[in-house]
Amino acid sequence: MKFLKQRGDWYHFERVISKPLQGVMGKTGWREALNTDSKVEAEARCRRRTVETDEEIRKAKEGTYRLLSDTQVEDIAVQWGTDFQLINRENIARDAFPDVWGELAPVGDEAPRPIIRKKTDLIQYVSDWLERTEQAEIKIGTPDFEALLDACLVEYLVSNPEISSEWEDVLAEHNVLPKNHGKSIQGTLKRKKKVDPDRKLSALFKNYLENSPDLGESARSDFGTAVRRFIEFHGDIDVEEIDRTHAEKFRDGMKRMPVRPPNKIRDLSMPKQIAWADVNPTKNPQQGTINKNLQGVKLALDFAYEETGLIKNRNWRNPFEGFIKKVKSSKKDRAKGFTPEQVHIAFSEAAFQPKTVERFWIPVILYYTGARLDEIAQLHVSDVKLTPIPYLRAENLEDDNPVLAKMLKTGTSHRTIPIHADLIDMGLLTYAEAIREKGHTYLFPNLPHKRGRNRGGYVSRTFMDGFRGYGELNRVMTESGV
């Protein structure tokens, strides 16, 4: 398994971060003990860490990765707030009531506008303080700096209740109700509304999964993707504030999403994927895919209403109702699988007459594994593994060279595929070793890998041509009485 390393009897998770992201994330990778000598348990823990580190890498690519925790940022904000108040407390009162106090000539590091009404002023005051105090933990212009600005504004508003009522929201978020406080009279900078972590959509969905033991792994993954996309599109908002406008815009955004884009695009947030799709030729999702994404958020909201106290309005209606459209399908359009008799004919000596190794091996591997055509067509020689048992590795692989990159249909398609004993008896491992000795990257080097997709198209066509040709020959012979 990728990223799983055995050292002695114990297993470790080891993953290297690409060089362009190492500076952003402040490290070169992860090297962690999994604290087990059981291979099965180690693989399970490795999969969990792979998902977790995938999310960290995605944030780094998106520019939203933070090096500091909320607690660390808040501690720095408290230091800034204390310093700002010591220097500017008297100036704030003079600026609020100039007729009473008159002007005060600056004598040091006083803020020119101590009542903060613009974000540009807040940025300037915090940036100057970071430079003056040599705070090396936070770099200006980073996600940590944006978080620090929010935390500093909270400190400022709570420390100056006489010039703004914004502090009431701060206390309300901590379930402390203010008494008899007047309205803001100075028009200070408005703070972003903070959401109780337990009321966020992400927390609700986690609760939904924990209370849905019968939900299959595929559904968990699909619905998880839907909720992640909604959060990327609208933010991790209070579930009670999600309305039909959010649902409508999310649906319209899904209609513009690219289908199976390059791996580096797939890793981007939903808005950035849409921006890419708007200027690049690509297919857009069908209604079934759109429905699946809408359904993921809808079910989470249904759970919030029916099994939690998050939605207090008992006349509430799910805002996603009506947006999930029935997919029209006809028996005529529906692809039919092969019957056992047809499979026997397709691989009979009369119909199955492959002229190249890929035309032989790919249909046979598909028959024994049930894998997708492109998953097998894009296999590298290194994807054929021998231990602990012979298996094929199906994975996404990012590479600056699109010829070498590999892409699965979905993220959950990443898996290991055991090699059937019949395939071994037919010589698949011997073939793979011969291709490896010739120095080829791909297991089937003669396929058109430069396309980056649909590499096995002609294999599929020739296989079906043989099957149809046999059927046509059989029909002619029957009609002729042969």
In this prediction, residues 229-255 reach a mean pLDDT of 93
Q: What long-range pairs does 385-388 form, CB within 8 A, spacing at least 24?
A: 385/416, 386/429, 388/39
One domain, residues 81 and 183: yes
Nearest residue to 374 (alpha-carbon basis) of 277, 420, 442: 442
Domain count across the chain:
4
- 3-state DSSP assignment of residue 226: helix
One domain, residues 300 and 417: no
**312 lies in a domain?**
no
pLDDT of residue 179: 47
One domain, residues 50 and 116: no
Listed ranges 2-6, 125-129, 372-376; the one with the highest mean pLDDT: 125-129
In this prediction, residues 111-116 reach a mean pLDDT of 87
Calpha distance 376→378 (Å, rounded): 6
**313 lies in a domain?**
no
Band of pLDDT at residue 152, cut at 50, 70 and 90? very high
One domain, residues 79 and 181: yes
Band of pLDDT at residue 260, cut at 50, 70 and 90? confident
One domain, residues 351 and 475: yes
One domain, residues 87 and 55: no
Provide the CB-side half-sphere exposure for 197 (13 A, CA).
3
Find tokens 């109700």 and name the residue. 177
**297 lies in a domain?**
yes
Question: Is pLDDT at 129 greater than 90 in this prediction?
Answer: yes
- Picking from 194, 210, 239, the residue at the C-terminal end of a domain is 194
Where in the sequence is the domain holding 429, given as residue range(s)? 340-479
Alpha-carbon dihedral angle through residues 317, 238, 174, 207, given to the nearest 10 degrees: 90
Band of pLDDT at residue 238, cut at 50, 70 and 90? very high
Calpha distance 220→88 (Å, rounded): 53
Yes or no: say if 77 and 30 are a contact pair by the CB < 8 Å rule.
no
**Which residue has better confidence, 351 or 21?**
21
Question: Is pLDDT at 221 greater than 80 in this prediction?
Answer: yes
Band of pLDDT at residue 461, cut at 50, 70 and 90? confident
Stretch among 393-402, 409-418, 456-465 having the lowest mean pLDDT: 393-402
30-51 pLDDT, tens digit per residue, is 999 999 999 888 888 888 888 8
Return the beta strands (E) in 247-312 as ranges: none
- Picking from 178, 194, 210, the residue at the C-terminal end of a domain is 194
Calpha distance 223→296 (Å, rounded): 4
Listed in sequence order, the DSSP H helices in 97-159 are 98-101, 119-133, 143-159
One domain, residues 123 and 55: no
**333 lies in a domain?**
no
**256 lies in a domain?**
yes
**Which residue has better confidence, 195 or 100?**
195
Calpha distance 302→28 (Å, rounded): 42
pLDDT of residue 243: 94
pLDDT of residue 471: 59
**Which residue has better confidence, 60 or 414?**
60
165-207 pLDDT, tens digit per residue, is 666 666 666 555 554 444 555 556 666 667 788 899 999 999 9
Encoding tokens for residue 194? 């903070």
In this prediction, residues 284-291 reach a mean pLDDT of 91
Residue 192, Cβ neighbours under 10 Å: how many?
Answer: 11
Question: Is pLDDT at 413 greater than 80 in this prediction?
Answer: no
In this prediction, residues 105-126 reach a mean pLDDT of 85
Residue 395, Cβ neighbours under 10 Å: how many?
Answer: 17
- Picking from 163, 194, 225, the residue at the C-terminal end of a domain is 194
One domain, residues 184 and 228: no
Band of pLDDT at residue 476, cut at 50, 70 and 90? very low
One domain, residues 118 and 170: yes
Yes or no: say if 393 and 43 are a contact pair by the CB < 8 Å rule.
no
Provide the CB-side half-sphere exposure for 6 (13 A, CA).
11
One domain, residues 345 and 473: yes
One domain, residues 129 and 209: no
pLDDT of residue 166: 64
CATH label of the domain that carries residue 430: 1.10.443
Residue 441, Cβ neighbours under 10 Å: how many?
Answer: 13
**122 lies in a domain?**
yes
Calpha distance 273→266 (Å, rounded): 7
Question: Is pLDDT at 480 greater than 50 in this prediction?
Answer: no
One domain, residues 209 and 301: yes
295-352 pLDDT, tens digit per residue, is 999 999 999 999 999 999 889 999 999 999 887 765 555 556 677 887 787 788 877 8
**330 lies in a domain?**
no
pLDDT of residue 172: 62
pLDDT of residue 180: 47
pLDDT of residue 404: 47
193-202 pLDDT, tens digit per residue, is 677 888 999 9
Which residues lie below 8 Å from residue 127, measured CB to CB, with a gap of 6+?
140
Which residues lie below 8 Å from residue 30, measured CB to CB, with a gap of 6+?
13, 14, 15, 49, 53
Yes or no: say if 420 and 368 are a contact pair by the CB < 8 Å rule.
yes
Q: In this structure, what DSSP letter does residue 268 have?
A: S
Band of pLDDT at residue 460, cut at 50, 70 and 90? confident
**319 lies in a domain?**
no
Listed ranges 57-61, 326-330, 411-415, 476-480; the one with the highest mean pLDDT: 57-61
Nearest residue to 230 (alpha-carbon basis) of 251, 209, 210, 256: 251
Listed in sequence order, the DSSP H helices in 63-189 are 70-96, 98-101, 119-133, 143-159, 167-173
